[in-house]
Amino acid sequence: MSPSDLSDQSDSSGSSNSPYRLLPRHGGYRKLRSFQTAQLVYDGTLIFCDRFIDKRSRTHDQMVQAARSGVQNIAEGSVASGTSKKTELKLTNVARASLEELLLDYQDFLRQRGLRLWAKDSPEALAVRRRYQSDSSERSDPHHFRGATPEVAANTLICLINQASYLLGRQLENLDQTFLAQGGFTERLHAART
């Protein structure tokens, strides 16, 4: 197991015999499909921006930072969930908002250059979704961003951002329902003390 895998282990502290677990299992974000997709978007955005956006421009930095924020906030929220469901909800939503900002940048890129934005059900968008759903063994550049035209690269990333946003939306709904059903750290602390 690599050191980076160790940093993402679910916390297993606490007695398994106790009916109240003060710090529930948390972390494990690398297994989340939302994290994996956001990471794919981040990697693709780095390639895209280095190829098609002037490195000295503010847009380059903002796009890269928005993509990075999508990934990092999922990880931070997952790890913080042990003591704060509120923080997990907030950071997961920040990740989704960052990806929405990035989505607008890609749509602007296409519009400003007179390039076509693929329809949701276009053959190209459906092909990206099929490729996304299959576990590609070509991890370094599974969507061929290094050789794609600007139109294809931007549209592919738009498809992936939409997928990540959809997954984060479902994740937020699940977190909301779990919080309503089980409460958070304060409720567990009170239950354990009483």
> Per-domain residue ranges for the chain?
31-193
Average predicted confidence (pLDDT) for the chain: 83
Beta strands in 24-135 (DSSP E): none
Find out whether 46 and 146 touch, Cβ atoms under 8 Å. no
Average pLDDT over residues 86-98: 95
| pLDDT tens, residue by residue, 104-159 | 999 999 999 999 999 999 999 999 999 888 765 455 677 889 999 999 999 999 99
At 189 the pLDDT is 46
Distance CA 39, CA 32 (A): 11
Distance CA 184, CA 173 (A): 16
Of 85, 84, 73, residue with least CA distance to 175: 85
pLDDT at 169 over 50: yes
In degrees, rounded to 5, the angle at the alpha carbon of residue 175 between the alpha carbons of residues 82 and 129 is 115
pLDDT band at 3, cuts 50/70/90?
very low
Quote the percentage of the chain above a pLDDT of 70.
Answer: 75
